[in-house]
A and B are shown apart, each in its own frame.
Chain A
């Protein structure tokens, strides 16, 4: 018996059993206590409330929403709003971070100083203050009657009004996809090794691909056009209010700007670190082969820097995704705000918090899984690297 307890494998197995047992006991105790307390307060638990209509409205939704819709529909709206804000925020933050990060690694002293000042300022101010700051600025813009106008867009205290094509939702999404591929396809064709043409002599193919994609976009827009109104729907002032166009509410803009600027300061440091991690030797080798500085950047420096950045970047993205919960501070109906409102109206605190946790877990675990896949796919192979 003694000798069995001194066996390392037996010990490890016993510890595992003990650990799992303890965990199960904790969970069980939690559930029992919660049920007893709820019963004492006369609250019925369960998820039946999901099918009741909410009786309140949301101020921003990509899906049709009324006060008669059930709670589960509102949760879906909340998740989509969070994903939308998160995606826009992350993309903008990445853009800002890349520019500032590159400035910080630049050989130009002024650029370095500006980059450093930016990071020092925006990384050290709490996000919630930045959200309030941008929200205050946007809501103090002129009224619709005195709106700033630029390229058909109107900037007002009620939000940013942008012209939209007068087409159906699906056609619009498809057209956006086609426009994105008009940019991405030529880039890919310039980089891929699947073509026999040498690099730098693929302009014809690239132009053809871009033209085809753009033509596809035009056809989709023409086919999806709604019968009433002009092709492009411009926002115009009618009486005291604005009509037409797409309104981007101040809540959304403030959050997107704050996440972009705050997140950008963190991403800038990640970008800087990634570029610092690339060995000088590889760049010298590329230069010595006669590659231009731009090619050295796109073929050697950037790909190697990206590999150093991605794991940390994934972490930062997960963090920023959670930062969308700042929506509640300015009244943007993201997932968290919908959850908070639901708790107030339905009283099903535990269930709703559970849904909130499950939702964020699902979003962030998917994000992490995607990045893990990418990391694994582009990991450098072999263990004999130096320099």
Chain B
């Protein structure tokens, strides 16, 4: 997949439908993300934010509509799914590091197996990204020996080692103690400054204001509002958005 040469948006979601049994989790969602764009997705819990970004790398299978990632349509073709997963990194709420491997192995395993990188090269890449997330000294430790904030930074490094073109963040700071949130957000800000295409589900409105090109508000499985941060925070049109913002920013 020579996607860097393909023109068009990084991610295009058209009329996306997703059901869990009879529950309609996503209702005709439309979203287009340009290359290099930073999107923050927010909304109350159960609004479908996580489900939407999990559809982008097929951790959830969609039931209707189209998802096109870097010019490849996400369908039942396994080669397409694998190709897209190679180019799309993901960071999870609960880090999901491999607890039986060292930090370095966590970062090297996928590049060596999926990208067929020789060991020395994979290790050099891993060490470079561990440096970037500011924990090079923890390389030989195991995930269980690190704090939550450090684990989440390892998770970011692990995803970056695949050198993806798009990064998905699924509430990356929600499981962290307050004093560790900023160390993770700092790394994400740096990443945004490097021009990475990012889709972040988060409730960190400060982060949204600072780095997002667009803020997307979801409720009840629909995108209710979509606007640049300044406009979103000052003059949102929708009643549900206003209510949500008053709850999030209220304190």
Contacts and interface: CB of A to CB of B under 8 A. Distances in A.
Nearest to A285: B96
Contact of A289 (B110, B141, B144, B146): B110
Chain A residues touching B, range: 35 or more
A300 interface: yes
Interface string B139-156: 001111111100100010
Chain B residues touching A, range: 35 or more
A314 B158 CA distance: 35
Nearest to B113: A199
A382 B113 contact: no
Interface string B75-95: 000000010011011101011
Interface in B159-200: 159, 162, 175
B142 A380 contact: yes
A261 to B, nearest CB: 32
Interface string A298-315: 011001100100000000
Given A289-B85, A381-B142, A382-B145, A198 B118 contact: yes
Nearest to B121: A198
Contacts of B92: 281, 284-285, 387
A310 to B, nearest CB: 13
Contact of B100 (A198, A199, A295, A304): A304
Nearest to B90: A288
Contacts of A3: none
A312 to B, nearest CB: 18
B148 A289 contact: no
B133 interface: no
Interface stretch (A125-133, A145-153, A189-197, A327-335): A189-197
A382 B141 CA distance: 9
A384 interface: yes
A291 B96 CA distance: 15
A200 interface: yes
B146 A384 contact: yes
Contacts of A7: none
A203 interface: no
Interface in A238-296: 279, 281-282, 284-292, 295
Contact of B96 (A201, A282, A299, A383): A282
B97 interface: yes
Contact of A304 (B89, B99, B118): B99
A163 B23 CA distance: 62
Interface string B181-225: 000000000000000000000000000000000000000000000
A226 interface: no
20 contacts: A196-B118, A198-B113, A285-B155, A288-B57, A288-B85, A288-B89, A289-B109, A289-B110, A290-B114, A299-B109, A304-B100, A378-B100, A380-B99, A381-B141, A382-B143, A382-B146, A384-B151, A386-B95, A386-B175, A387-B92
Interface of A: 193, 195-201, 279, 281-282, 284-292, 295, 299-300, 303-304, 307, 378, 380-387
Interface of B: 57, 59, 82, 85-86, 88-90, 92, 94-100, 105, 109-110, 112-120, 122, 141-148, 151, 155, 158-159, 162, 175
Report the 7 A-B pairs with minimum CB-CB distance, sorted nearest first: A382-B144, A387-B94, A382-B145, A285-B96, A281-B96, A289-B110, A381-B142
